[in-house]
Amino acid sequence: MSRVSASTSHAIAVLERARLRPGAIAEALAGWSRFVRGPVRALDEYTPEECPCPGCQWHDPVVRRETLRLALFALPVRAARELRALVEPLDEVYLSRSIPLPATAYIRALLTDNPLRAHFRPWASPAASGACGCPGTSSRSSTAG
């Protein structure tokens, strides 16, 4: 991953192999960046991905931000500090550009609240993963989007 030290890049690679997949953190950072710097209307009219499978949900910018949150708490302190230096400015962009609405309360909590309280997703579907039959259900692969 560019813009971080070699030791942080190594720590991210270890985390990705253990809990995610190679390249997941860089994809998550790029996807969150595109979302927060995109049209303001997209921020305020955000709706989560309807499909519960991991392949489809990966295209959801909030799932990508949740992945970054996981990394920030799972990485060693020094590596987390470097990644946080890249993530926090994006969070500030989101907070400054979006309107505080009930529909975006979860996103704001994800960025500002206690990490133990922000795990609740009010729109989480009880359907089993893979119930949709979409291409993302067979593996954990995805395309950066």
- Domains of the chain by residue range: 22-116
User: Exposed/middle/buried for 26, CB within 10 Å: 0-12, 13-18, 19+?
Assistant: middle
Check residue 55 and give its pLDDT. Answer: 59
Mean pLDDT by runs of 10 across the 145 residues of the chain is 89 93 92 92 75 65 90 93 94 91 84 54 39 44 42
3-state secondary structure string, 72-129? HHHCCHHHHHHHHHHHHHHHHHHHHHCCCCHHHHHHHHHHHCCCCCCCCCCCCCCCCC
Check residue 124 and give its pLDDT. Answer: 40
Residue 55 DSSP SS3: helix
- Entry pTM: 0.74
Question: What is the distance between the alpha carbons of residues 73 and 60, in angstroms, rounded to a whole number?
Answer: 21
Check residue 91 and give its pLDDT. Answer: 93
